[in-house]
Amino acid sequence: MKKRLFPPLFLILAFALCASGCSIFRRPQPPVLVDAYAPAGTVAEHVVQTAQGLIGSPYRYGGTTPRGFDCSGFVQFVFNANDIRLPRTSGEQARVGQKIARRDLRPGDILVFRIGVRSTHTGIYVADNTFIHSPSRGGRVRLDDMDQEYWDRRFLYGRRIPGIS
């Protein structure tokens, strides 16, 4: 009669998994991006850090909370969390503050993209041509590179909100 090793092996693996705090079931945390352009403690740094902390939140049309964001709901939530009130829609957000050329972007600026004929998309500039946004249905809040062909072709301008520096 052969001995089966399966039950003892299963128990050892189960114990190891529980001893490690079941870490394989935790949602991985996004890396913290070091932002050399926003001085420590500035509102811009806090805006970027708030946005980074929401990476992985799901997209939801009309969403304005970490349970689900659309692009403008995400931008509004991040700024509201830092005591800066913004309008709700991307079209309205595309008109607040000062218009900024791509070469003059700084962390915490709002980015405006043209999606389709009449639609705009907003995100938050981080540094080094990267931005955080809530992309589209089925997606999650993420960091993207503005140099990607898709975003590069659609970028319109940035908006600098008073009180961000």
- What is the predicted pLDDT for the residue at 2? 52
Please give the average pLDDT of every successive group of 10 residues along the chain, which has 165 residues: 51 44 38 45 94 98 97 98 96 97 97 93 98 96 98 97 83
- What is the predicted pLDDT for the residue at 96? 97
Catalytic residue from among 18, 22, 46, 71: 71
Between the CA atoms of 78, 149, 30 and 165, what dihedral angle is there, to the nearest 10 degrees?
-40
The total domain count for the chain is 1
Catalytic (active site) residue 18: no
Q: Please give the residue range of the domain that contains residue 90.
A: 39-160
Catalytic (active site) residue 121: yes
Instruction: With respect to residue 5, please indicate whether it lies within any of the assigned structural domains.
Output: no
Instruction: With respect to residue 14, please indicate whether it lies within any of the assigned structural domains.
Output: no
- For 115, phi then psi, to 5°, come to -120, 110
Catalytic residue from among 18, 22, 46, 121: 121
Strand partners for 155: 113
- For 91, phi then psi, to 5°, come to -60, -40
Instruction: With respect to residue 156, please indicate whether it lies within any of the assigned structural domains.
Output: yes
Catalytic (active site) residue 46: no
- What is the predicted pLDDT for the residue at 16? 46
